[in-house]
Chain A
């Protein structure tokens, strides 16, 4: 079966711009989570969506937002980009709550210049 697909794979943006990243979960998976990975902070949880509702949220500023569509596909948006937002953004999906483990995508590498 197809895995978790994240697009684009790489992205370069300028400070102050906004960006939208996309994640298509495994077919049938209704839970989608987003993580940010940087060398300094490691993997940090951003938020989780289930059936189009945000179910859990990490400690990130309001510039980071997301949504989930009826087909479980999810997008995350970062507005007013800062240099520190440069990171690998990972999406993970599961049937529900990751109890049987999350499947991660390969990520989108965002560089802010």
Chain B
């Protein structure tokens, strides 16, 4: 399975931008890059995903390196509600056999937002 590497924790001041890095040097050309976040005692919440080009949605932006070996999740203005564990995960584009739908969650990055 392709793996990702994220810092264990990060801090940000409220209302400032946050850049959460993720390394995935063994990514396959058929892998999407997914980001989820998890608040305490809740299930993970989908944030954003992309393949090659940078992506924007109402929650965040995803910047993908040209060689696809790293990516950065960008929260444009951190709020207290953004304090969570953020997971960067690789997922195949399409079903290719048993097990291919599995998401491998590491420990993620715990983001703290300082008022």
A and B interact physically:
no
